[in-house]
Structure 1
């Protein structure tokens, strides 16, 4: 057996509207938004009597989707510390290739995005940076130079 594809990456957020707006500004499109609940959903995620809402974001004309979710039941929990550094064990970041890194940073700042470090140049190949977005999500940006 082989893997057919990576379908999506799921991220739990505290404000679904803000997260959708942030990733829309980044250039993704909202594919759909729906509540998720019922015994099948509770069985999959291992939470009794759960109710959530998801927003599926897609990259236009490219493979790859991001599933943004918030939980209404049971209540969201925020682990300590609430904002993890880049070397924390677990999901590290979601990386996107962009045309203009400085323009992208400027547009995302209006949604509260902050640079984790700074924009750095990797040889003559890429400009790279990490931003902290909604719900503390680390988003990597890469602009190819040649």
Structure 2
């Protein structure tokens, strides 16, 4: 049996700001559209819904991130500022070529390190977690070559 992960979904309030953040990180906007009606609600279990989505993809085309902004029904919970040991969605980790350059570029988007520094895991990776737009937890990893 073959399987591949198609995408990870994140619900946001400000879709335009989230797109800009992930474009700065290096993802490409594949498309933006409205998803509405009973057919969509039959998949999610939410009934009649109206959702604006943006599909982002990694430059290699293997990873996708679906950003969603619900217009209806109203958002019912907010997990964006949950600590890293909370149950459920934790974070998305991206491997980048240069973590220091990435952090400098993301600074314009209000990114804050979760810890006080980038840490090194053995001689394998430099790692950090950042809070991106709306407090989303994003992991960054740079392979040590």
Coarse TM-score class (shorter-chain normalised): over 0.9
- Retained in 2: the 8 A contact 1:113–1:134? yes
- Alpha carbon RMSD of aligned pairs, Å? 1.3
**Number of residue pairs the alignment of both structures matches:** 144
Note the residue ranges of structure 2 that are not aligned, 5 or more in a row. none
1:38 deviates by 1.1
- Retained in 2: the 8 A contact 1:70–1:76? no
* Aligned position for 1:88: 86
C-alpha deviations, 1:54-105, integer Å up to 9, x for none?
A: 00000112301000001001122343x7510010001111001101101101
**Separation in 2 of the partners of 1:77 and 1:114?**
26
1:3 deviates by 4.2
Answering whether residue 131 of structure 2 is matched by residue 140 of structure 1, we say no
Alignment of 1:32-47 (within 5 A): 32-47=31-46
Alignment of 1:19-58 (within 5 A): 19-58=18-57
- Retained in 2: the 8 A contact 1:51–1:73? yes
Alignment of 1:101-112 (within 5 A): 101-112=99-110
* Aligned position for 1:114: 112
Q: Under a length normalisation based on structure 2, what TM-score does the superposition of the two structures give?
A: 0.94
Note the residue ranges of structure 1 that are not aligned, 5 or more in a row. none
Q: Under a length normalisation based on structure 1, what TM-score does the superposition of the two structures give?
A: 0.93
